[in-house]
Chains A and B, each alone.
Chain A
């Protein structure tokens, strides 16, 4: 008996999106980074092509964060004191791109400034040649105030700028239009909202080739099942030919996992939670793996060890490549 493996015939594919620009393209990056393009469900190479592997980003900040787990502080050490050094360390740890989050305040609690943000981004651009994403601290007004000058500072570098949300996307999109960057379009775990924001951003004149979709996922144990299914549905819709769901998907298991108790807290937790470091790392890695299998095209991680582990999974799923 010879069994024929049932293959699906899809009419659509994920759109390819390219970040970063080399000197020839008006930037200063050593190479560009393309994600998306697959014409099948995650890693089912027997029925479709997967031209680009998911990108693994490491998150850094414009200054040493106040609230990160001691485990992360340990992992990055003194590099965290300087965004340029941190970015170099992230590059050395194997990141495909640097995902920089701007802080809401400086170390003394004073509001972050456009000048500071600009300088921090400049430092990172000078310190590494990787493509880069820069997102605001997550408060509409401040995001806009910081991202616009950053967009100008990095003119032509094709940064991924964020975070565009339904209530605040116009300024960031306008900045991306003015200075030739890309945007991250984030919506709260809902297929239709994801689609709608992509439409709204596209309506402003930003080409679809410059939009990355962040469906929001939740961490393991904290709602990941919603994000997981929303991503599967978005991906099925994309393969089914629904144009506005064909953006590559960015997820942030680093942020999601490291803010939950399981990763953050080492003391005063049940004994059966086991070893803290292992639990924290597993929390981030297992969150990431679930999202890898629901269609993530870019994963933002925090711990270098997680990057190494996820990388080895991807290498097997896609055949190693160097």
Chain B
């Protein structure tokens, strides 16, 4: 049974020293109880208390961090099986696999192209997280050169696929200054790999036939002093992946089974029989940690990045879209102007309907702190004052020549007030549901 905040509070110094970064001991205790803070942030906790708080002090799934020359990827530290229970915290890293057998210039070209890949999703910048460079040549020098080539065009974090101590060492040298993941220790090579990882202070992936093998190895590696581990269960199919990754997550969370309390690395394209994009999608939804892609395809990557963004959205902190004035179907100054909130779903449903209807239109998306129309209205985040203010901020008067603003039917009550806030404007009350926009415009918009 997890400790409550009050129980934890009793074990803390109760000095409100703020050294942990929280304003009071009680506030810190509640964060600990929610598994959102680590006990090590309190420098004053007594050993006795720390022992009692053990279960609350270490997250059940170790956080593993990869760093590039610029940028980092953190995976692990998850606390739930289903996103609605709390949230999924650390998005799986998406990496592209390159091989050192490739010509150096080609490697550079490919890595540079993938490095430059960015897409914008509701104001969020999405991109590939890094590269997995494989020592396919089995030659340390070639491997070293390949890593240098990739590093010369990209500062993203790396995974070094180097199945021996020598190769690993060569890779680590080439990657100096960053914090790559070494892949991978197995039953044969684990001692040498452990040595390299420990020496370089980098995380290490672990490969074994099955979960028993993985658990045995992680324990050995921990004893050898490598704490940051990543599990590679070697999954190659949809079913295998789902069963293995679910088992690992359950063991870690439900039984606090420390030997498997690590994030997972998968290679969805390893089996050519499998549709890589769809297996990667499955792994994003179901417990993947680091996902290494065989193919770099902008279209598929975009879909996967968006899925990852969606699944890892905090269910209690909805995605917001940037407040502003949005153009739909290339509107001109006579096109209807509609106001709504910046809750992503609200925005999408309206934008979709208007777009689908063929009407050119202006959408005034106000800053309602990401709440839907009714919620925002009830919370005072979507009132006449705010709408009027945003109408000014985003210069609607410069966009449309008419002076008519359509507001959502659910906030019809705002119409009178809004007319006072926006002198000279006619406030029209639109439909309650987005699906009715088309018929509403047909009936009410005369241009």
> Are chains A and B touching in the complex at the 8 Å CB cutoff?
yes
Q: Which residues of A contact B (CB under 8 A)?
A: 1-3, 5-6, 43-46, 67, 138, 218, 220-226, 228-229, 232-233, 236, 259-262, 270-276, 278-279, 282-283, 285-286, 289-290, 293-294, 309-310, 312-313, 316-318
Q: Is B243 an interface residue (CB 8 A)?
A: yes
A274 B298 Cβ-Cβ under 8 A = yes
Q: Which residues of A sit under 8 angstroms from B211, Cβ to Cβ?
A: 3, 5
B118 A260 Cβ-Cβ under 8 A = no
Bin the interface of chain B by size: 35 or more
A6 B255 Cβ-Cβ under 8 A = yes
Q: Which of A46, A273, A310 contacts B243 (CB 8 A)?
A: A46
Q: Is B297 an interface residue (CB 8 A)?
A: yes
CB distance from B384 to the nearest CB of A (A): 27
Q: Which of B215, B299, B315 contacts A229 (CB 8 A)?
A: B315
Q: Is B52 an interface residue (CB 8 A)?
A: no
Q: Which residues of B sit under 8 angstroms from A273, Cβ to Cβ?
A: 119, 298-299, 302
Contact sample, A vs B, 24 pairs, CB 8 Å cutoff: A1-B212, A1-B215, A1-B259, A6-B251, A45-B243, A138-B435, A221-B310, A222-B345, A223-B349, A225-B313, A228-B83, A229-B83, A229-B315, A233-B84, A260-B352, A272-B118, A273-B302, A282-B302, A286-B277, A289-B278, A293-B242, A316-B239, A317-B238, A317-B239
A290 B345 Cβ-Cβ under 8 A = no
A279 B344 Cβ-Cβ under 8 A = no
Which residue on chain A has the smallest CB distance to residue B356? A259
A286 B348 Cβ-Cβ under 8 A = no
Q: Which of B254, B285, B349, B435 contacts A294 (CB 8 A)?
A: B285
Q: Which residues of B contact A (CB under 8 A)?
A: 82-84, 117-121, 211-212, 215-216, 237-239, 242-243, 246-247, 250-251, 254-255, 257, 259-260, 274-275, 277-278, 281-282, 285-286, 297-304, 306-307, 309-311, 313, 315, 344-345, 348-349, 352, 355-356, 435
A279 B348 Cβ-Cβ under 8 A = no
CB distance from A255 to the nearest CB of B (A): 11
B303 A283 Cβ-Cβ under 8 A = yes
Which residue on chain B has the smallest CB distance to residue A2? B212
Q: Which of A3, A223, A274, A317 contacts B242 (CB 8 A)?
A: A317
Q: Which residues of A sit under 8 angstroms from B239, Cβ to Cβ?
A: 43, 316-318
Given A5-B247, A312-B275, A313-B275, decide whether A286 and B303 contact each other with a Cβ distance below 8 A.
yes
Q: Which residues of A sit under 8 angstroms from B348, Cβ to Cβ?
A: 218, 222-223
Q: CA A228 – CA B87 in complex, angstroms?
A: 13
Q: CA A286 – CA B349 in complex, angstroms?
A: 20
Q: CA A5 – CA B247 in complex, angstroms?
A: 6
B307 A286 Cβ-Cβ under 8 A = yes
Given A223-B348, A285-B278, decide whether A272 and B307 contact each other with a Cβ distance below 8 A.
no
B278 A274 Cβ-Cβ under 8 A = no
Q: Which residues of A sit under 8 angstroms from B307, Cβ to Cβ?
A: 220, 224, 286, 290
Q: Which residues of B sit under 8 angstroms from A3, Cβ to Cβ?
A: 211-212, 215, 247, 251, 257, 260
CB distance from B249 to the nearest CB of A (A): 10
Q: CA A313 – CA B121 in complex, angstroms?
A: 27
CB distance from A78 to the nearest CB of B (A): 25
B299 A270 Cβ-Cβ under 8 A = no
Q: CA A270 – CA B301 in complex, angstroms?
A: 14
Q: Which of B118, B120, B345 contacts A218 (CB 8 A)?
A: B345
Which residue on chain A has the smallest CB distance to residue B250? A6
Q: Which of B84, B297, B309 counts the most chain A CB atoms within 10 A?
A: B84
Given A290-B285, A309-B275, decide whether A220 and B303 contact each other with a Cβ distance below 8 A.
yes
Given A43-B242, A229-B315, A316-B237, decide whether A223 and B345 contact each other with a Cβ distance below 8 A.
yes
Q: Which of A229, A279, A289 contacts B281 (CB 8 A)?
A: A289
A282 B282 Cβ-Cβ under 8 A = no
Q: CA A270 – CA B116 in complex, angstroms?
A: 13
Q: Which residues of B sit under 8 angstroms from A309, Cβ to Cβ?
A: 275, 278
A225 B310 Cβ-Cβ under 8 A = yes
A44 B246 Cβ-Cβ under 8 A = yes
Q: Which of B82, B299, B344 contacts A278 (CB 8 A)?
A: B299
Q: Which residues of A sit under 8 angstroms from B254, Cβ to Cβ?
A: 6
Q: CA A31 – CA B260 in complex, angstroms?
A: 47
Q: Which residues of A sit under 8 angstroms from B344, Cβ to Cβ?
A: 223
B303 A279 Cβ-Cβ under 8 A = yes
Q: Which of A275, A276, A279 counts the most chain B CB atoms within 10 A?
A: A279
Q: Which of A223, A286, A318 contacts B278 (CB 8 A)?
A: A286
A286 B315 Cβ-Cβ under 8 A = no
Q: CA A44 – CA B315 in complex, angstroms?
A: 25
Q: Which residues of B sit under 8 angstroms from A278, Cβ to Cβ?
A: 297, 299-300
B82 A229 Cβ-Cβ under 8 A = yes
Q: Which residues of B sit under 8 angstroms from A279, Cβ to Cβ?
A: 299-300, 302-303
Q: CA A2 – CA B212 in complex, angstroms?
A: 6
Q: CA A1 – CA B311 in complex, angstroms?
A: 34
A44 B299 Cβ-Cβ under 8 A = no
Q: CA A66 – CA B82 in complex, angstroms?
A: 40
With contacts A2-B212, A294-B285 known, what are 5 further pairs, Cβ within 8 A?
A220-B310, A229-B84, A279-B299, A286-B277, A309-B278
Given A229-B83, A229-B315, A282-B303, decide whether A313 and B278 contact each other with a Cβ distance below 8 A.
yes
Q: Which residues of B sit under 8 angstroms from A43, Cβ to Cβ?
A: 239, 242
Q: Which residues of B sit under 8 angstroms from A310, Cβ to Cβ?
A: 278
Q: CA A108 – CA B45 in complex, angstroms?
A: 77
Q: CA A313 – CA B237 in complex, angstroms?
A: 9
What 9 A-B pairs come out closest when comparing CB atoms? A274-B299, A274-B298, A279-B299, A278-B299, A229-B84, A225-B310, A282-B303, A221-B306, A223-B345
B247 A272 Cβ-Cβ under 8 A = no
CB distance from B245 to the nearest CB of A (A): 11
A286 B255 Cβ-Cβ under 8 A = no
Q: Which of B120, B216, B302, B435 counts the most chain A CB atoms within 10 A?
A: B302
A67 B356 Cβ-Cβ under 8 A = yes
Q: Which residues of A sit under 8 angstroms from B301, Cβ to Cβ?
A: 274
